[in-house]
Structure 1
């Protein structure tokens, strides 16, 4: 087996001889002598191989010479005519080192390679050359997609990312998540994932970003994907915007009495596009802001509602009790005003107006009536002579006038007896 060696030129430069592949031929005497330190042949790292993979061919080489020398491992793709050479490796006298060369198959199928070692001014053993075959498969493909996302006020933005890798080797990838807001793009997160063939899902928490859309990108690390890969995806985001409202339904009893327990039924609605955070509902007395009752409220889904009952242990002393129904959701809240009439106790009476002016008015009316009656009596008791300014003659005493004598007669129609004037003539 022949391998190329470097020979000194007549001008003092050195190059690869095109006429001789005999490793025992060098220009002048040699002080370094390279032989295989292990088994014959090179070791291939990186199989099973796919198009675009980085492979490594290596061999352990010893220097049996008296001085330090350098050696290079070379590869040739005999089918496609591609040749690559590794880095120059320096080996001191009496020691061994691994000499390697990296190569990347650009075609799929069974690829045949020839390898050999070259050295500048040193002897290379004839065993340091050979051939090998690498089975190269098609490039693996990857796919990135967003299965779903959820953005709520209490939980923030959560994105479920799905990643798929076609059959073959496990692969390292860089997952990058970027956001776009008002035309500006910026990277939010970037981390490495180890992906086995098949599909894998991961949930990513992103808080509350100022973002109109997200992009997800899978970037292969030191390997190449097939042209059929879909390693980039983008989604538009809908910013959470709940629309809460609270309403009073009914109080039981409908007209509460002072001091009794009252149940207040209420309803909460969410007409927005995202769920409300869990929170509390309160009944707050107006206007002194005393908390009459409080209860916990779960998260209300979009276009959903929640109904419940709160108890007021002791109904306030007021004809009309006014309070606010307050729904608190984290930093947000909504309020509904409620007014309920109280029940009047039996035996009690309460005028719908101020009684003092009414009493004063009634007394004034009575006084006016009495004054009018006195005036009328005084006027009606006057005589004509008095009205003419004179005095009437005094009345004659009854005794001086004398009383007529009377006699008794029998009634012709009954048995009674009647008194008639003594001078009466005629029938009775």
Structure 2
């Protein structure tokens, strides 16, 4: 029972008897008539308005449906009072009580409460209007009524089919069945499962009539592995045999790799060896379908290592996103080759970049080597000073020196000053160089600052062949990248400094 009004009435009477003291208490029969006589001058007088009795709404009813009972009550007394409606289900013994309603003298108010049928078939109820003192003031404030309740209605939901096209995205055809009875309002929840998680996609209210009907749902272009649709009743209960949940696996359309593109910029534009560089990379989806979430990698091609990797979110059709990747330490070399690779599910896109760098020897960006130029200038000054000294010595010779001796001395000086040289090419940059004809040993090119050996028989270089752009160092097996369009060419391993000849292999 929801409320026990007999206990409430007893507590109320106890409060009225509190004024006399415990010491002077003498047991005697308690008469409610004494209280009535005391307040007979001021009282309420509740009566049912008209002869309608109790009004029932919510029929035809099914089990689980909320119904409403209401009574119009008038107060013909001279003070305000409160009253409420009590319903007792004679089949289950369950009581239903409404909220107290204050009624002023000469006023009529509706007093109501909600209730539910308990059995399928005829349900019998007693009703009564109670006041604050627990008494029923008039006989027209009590009565009885019956209602007919049917079984709970059955609700069935099934996903019949789906179509995914470029114009409408994912559209689903849903079948809903409601058994015989009243029209009902339901809530349709569309949920999607993707990579182990479930998300709410759409919620709509639908009014359904008894029978079967088809509903078309348009869900856009979500990332989805399976679709989950649930039909939930609004303010009513479904039969236990209802199947109001339906699930279906969804195959997303394949994204065309050619519709994906990558663009990148590096800050600073010309990095210095060892400094930190920020690469801003933009991923563009020019296709008709969303990509999956994935990753973006920045790969150093010379060593085939991943410099950094970040997670990227899905990219919607005809949209783009930008992200930044940090390169902690810029590699050495005048040109550094990187590859940006975007992996999104089963598809990927990549783009290669060759970045011009500033090395330590190129700090002033001069077209010649400063050290070699300084040595050349100093050597020229020495030669000029030596020639001047010899010319003065010859022009100021003493008379005792014969012409033959002078001629012999001059020819000797000329022969000692003229050093026989030969022209060679730098092995690395093809710069033309002049070296003494008899020189054997190391020579440093003033243009590319590389050293090589002249005057000795060179050992034949090792030859490495491959059909692709990548090959392995013959000494340390380090994976290196040498473009096919530059072969054959001499290459040097950045790890062990071994030089070898890179050639194309047979496909």
Q: Compute the TM-score of the two structures, normalised by the length of structure 2.
A: 0.44
Residue 91 of structure 1 deviates from its aligned partner by: 1.1
Cα 1:203/1:27, change in 2 over 3 Å: farther
Residue 186 of structure 1 deviates from its aligned partner by: 1.0
Residue 107 of structure 1 deviates from its aligned partner by: 1.7
What per-residue deviation string (whole Å, max 9, x for no partner) do you get for residues 43-86 of structure 1? Answer: 11101111100000001111111111110100011121111111
Cα 1:26/1:163, change in 2 over 3 Å: farther
Cα distance between partner residues in 2 of 1:47 and 1:125: 29
In structure 1, which of residues 71, 80, 89 is the aligned counterpart of residue 101 of structure 2?
A: 89
Cα distance between partner residues in 1 of 2:136 and 2:246: 57
C-alpha contact 2:92 2:118 (8 A) present in aligned 1: no
Cα distance between partner residues in 1 of 2:254 and 2:37: 82
Query: Equivalent residue of 1:211, what SS?
Result: coil
Query: Equivalent residue of 2:139, what SS?
Result: coil
In structure 2, which of residues 70, 76, 81 is the aligned counterpart of residue 69 of structure 1?
A: 81
Residue 123 of structure 1 deviates from its aligned partner by: 6.5
1:246-257 matches, within 5 Å, as none
Aligned to 1:134: 147
Higher relative helix content: 2
Cα 1:86/1:26, change in 2 over 3 Å: farther
Residue 39 of structure 1 deviates from its aligned partner by: 2.1
C-alpha contact 2:62 2:153 (8 A) present in aligned 1: yes
Number of residues paired by the alignment? 239
Cα 1:136/1:13, change in 2 over 3 Å: farther
1:33-44 matches, within 5 Å, as 33-44=45-56
Cα distance between partner residues in 2 of 1:192 and 1:90: 38
Aligned to 1:216: 229
Aligned to 1:31: 43
Cα distance between partner residues in 2 of 1:172 and 1:26: 55
Cα distance between partner residues in 1 of 2:137 and 2:108: 14
Query: Equivalent residue of 1:207, what SS?
Result: coil
Cα 1:13/1:183, change in 2 over 3 Å: farther
Aligned to 1:115: 127
C-alpha contact 2:129 2:136 (8 A) present in aligned 1: no
1:143-154 matches, within 5 Å, as 143-154=156-167
| 1:78 aligns to 2:90 (yes or no) | yes
- What value does the CA root-mean-square deviation take over the aligned residues? 3.2
Long gaps (5+) in structure 1: 15-19, 245-275, 278-428
Cα distance between partner residues in 2 of 1:12 and 1:227: 52
Cα distance between partner residues in 2 of 1:123 and 1:113: 17
Aligned to 2:182: 169
Residue 32 of structure 1 deviates from its aligned partner by: 1.5
1:287-302 matches, within 5 Å, as none
Query: Equivalent residue of 1:80, what SS?
Result: coil
Aligned to 1:373: none
Query: Equivalent residue of 1:223, what SS?
Result: coil
Residue 243 of structure 1 deviates from its aligned partner by: 8.2
Cα 1:180/1:105, change in 2 over 3 Å: same
Cα distance between partner residues in 2 of 1:129 and 1:74: 9
Cα 1:26/1:6, change in 2 over 3 Å: farther
If you compute each CA radius of gyration, which structure gives the higher value, 1 or 2? 1
Cα distance between partner residues in 2 of 1:212 and 1:27: 79
Aligned to 1:58: 70
| 1:103 aligns to 2:107 (yes or no) | no
In structure 2, which of residues 173, 191, 195 is the aligned counterpart of residue 178 of structure 1?
A: 191
Residue 157 of structure 1 deviates from its aligned partner by: 0.3
Q: Compute the TM-score of the two structures, normalised by the length of structure 1.
A: 0.51
What per-residue deviation string (whole Å, max 9, x for no partner) do you get for residues 350-369 of structure 1? Answer: xxxxxxxxxxxxxxxxxxxx
In structure 2, which of residues 222, 226, 238 is the aligned counterpart of residue 225 of structure 1?
A: 238
Cα distance between partner residues in 2 of 1:84 and 1:166: 29
Cα 1:141/1:197, change in 2 over 3 Å: same
Query: Equivalent residue of 1:127, what SS?
Result: helix
Aligned to 1:392: none
Residue 242 of structure 1 deviates from its aligned partner by: 8.2
Aligned to 2:338: none
C-alpha contact 2:194 2:224 (8 A) present in aligned 1: yes
C-alpha contact 1:55 1:103 (8 A) present in aligned 2: yes
Cα distance between partner residues in 1 of 2:199 and 2:252: 18
Cα 1:177/1:27, change in 2 over 3 Å: farther
Higher relative strand content: 1
Residue 191 of structure 1 deviates from its aligned partner by: 1.4
Cα distance between partner residues in 2 of 1:183 and 1:150: 23
